Amino acid sequence: MAGQKDKLFNYWVFFQSITHGTATSLINFFMTLSVSHGTAEPLSLSDYQSFSEVVAISCLLSVTIEVILTTNYWTVLFMLAIFFSLCSYVVISWASQSYQLFRISPKTFPFLYADRNVISHPSNLLVVLLNVSVNTLSLLALRVIGQALKKPHLKEEEEELPAEEIITMESVPYLPRESRVRRSSYAFSHREGYADLIT
């Protein structure tokens, strides 16, 4: 069990997640900033709401594509979760930039239809495509390099084991209660949790 052997969440996985999230955010921000620098067209990314829409769409699509690429087991629940997350983004952005909310509180919702203006301009869609491509290709490149470096190491370990010495153990009729080798994730979280990482 991967969860009981501390493979799903440990300091290394936490560090990788923080580094990956920071790199994705920086790529989305600075790629959009470098493309929009010096443009003054009416439909360009010169205002910060259009800029933030492009960065938000880039982040959403980057994360969604990475989740789709890293998923091993596809279920109906998984597909519904992806579909509803995309739909909820569209509904919330449409509602927060609608004329009805602008009429109620113009100071709180001052940007009318900014998402439609961004999506209707082809150059903005190319910026989103560039951001998603850079994020996804860098992730795939790192995974291919990691797999290439792991495979020779595993083959060396297999060669080191002698084929003649096979150690067999007698089956134990019960699992001792005080065993530290296998514990439930509930017991693990209460004894040695990762609260110091999160808080």
Cβ burial 90-106 (10 Å sphere, 16+ → b, else e): eeebeeebeeeebeeee
Higher model confidence: residue 188 or residue 67? 67
Interatomic CA distance for residues 140 and 148, integer angstroms: 12
- Name which of 23-27, 94-98, 188-192 the model is least confident about: 188-192
CB 94 within 8 A of CB 113: no
b/e map 134-150, b = 16+ CB within 10 Å: bbbeebeeeeeeeeeee
Q: What is the pLDDT of residue 129?
A: 93
Query: Amino acid identity, residue 65?
Result: I
Q: Taking a C-beta distance cutoff of 8 angstroms, is the pair 60, 87 a contact? A: no
**Residue 50 · residue 124 · CB < 8 Å:** yes
**In Å, what is the CA distance from 123 to each residue of 16, 97, 111?**
33, 21, 20
Picking from 137, 20, 149, 148, the residue whose alpha carbon sits closest to that of residue 69 is 137
Residue 9 or residue 148, greater confidence: 148
Taking alpha carbons only, the member of 17, 121, 97 closest to residue 49 is: 97
Residue pair 60/28 in contact by the 8 Å Cβ criterion: no
Residue 73 backbone dihedrals phi, psi, to 5 degrees: -115, 115
Highest-confidence range of 24-28, 72-76, 145-149, 191-195, by mean pLDDT?
Answer: 24-28
Under 8 Å between Cβ of 27 and 134: yes
Q: What per-residue confidence (pLDDT) applies to 87?
A: 94
Residue bearing the bigger pLDDT, 188 or 15: 15
Residue 11 has pLDDT above 60, yes or no: yes
Question: What's the pLDDT score for residue 172?
Answer: 59
Stretch 35-48: mean pLDDT, rounded?
Answer: 65
| Residue with more model confidence, 37 or 138 | 138
pLDDT, tens digit (0-9, with 9 covering 90-100), for 145-194: 988 888 765 555 555 555 555 666 666 565 555 555 555 555 555 555 55
pTM for this prediction = 0.67
CA distance linking residue 145 with residue 38, whole number of Å = 37
As a whole number of angstroms, the distance between CA 195 and CA 9 comes to 12
